Amino acid sequence: DIVMTQSPDSLAVSLGERATINCKSSQSVLKSSDNNNYLVWYQQKPGQPPQLLIYWASTRASGVPDRFSGSGSGTDFTLTISSLQAEDVAVYYCQQDYATPLTFGGGTKVEIK
């Protein structure tokens, strides 16, 4: 199984400041057939289901604000919130959809400092 490791477990960022979340996979999730990284990011606000933010490591889902960006390739990935807003308080999960079993990182809780 591909193990997904997120860091940090939690972080507190001032409004308007940058938040950076890291995700590492135990093996590459780059598919050579299409040159896409099969790495997904979700946002889960308290009491709500997850919401898709980014797929293929860096493609924003429809309606996602451009302050959210994803980067990385192979085994190391980053989710960046360029200017944290109050509504971004949530837990963020990475997930690999390269192979079954589909696996998630443990989550990173983002709070306001």
Partner 1 sequence: EVQLVESGGGLVQPGGSLRLSCGASGFTFRNYWMLWVRQAPGKGLVWVSRINGDGSFTTYADSVKGRFTISRDNAKNTLYLQMNSLRVEDTAIYYCAQSTGGGLGDYWGQGTLVTVSS
Task: Give residue for tokens 């959210």.
Answer: 68
Q: How far is the CB of 6 from partner 1 (least distance, A)?
A: 9
Which chain residues interact with partner 1 by CB under 8 A?
Answer: 38, 40, 42, 44, 48-52, 55, 61, 93, 95, 97-98, 100-107
Supply the minimum distance, in Å, between the C-beta of residue 34 and partner 1: 11
CA 92 – CA 21 distance, rounded (Å): 8
Q: Which is nearer to partner 1, 16 or 32 (CB)?
A: 32
- Write the single-letter amino acid at 19: A
Lookup: tokens for 104: 């998630």
CB of 16 to partner 1, least distance (A): 28
Nearer to partner 1, 16 or 101 (CB): 101
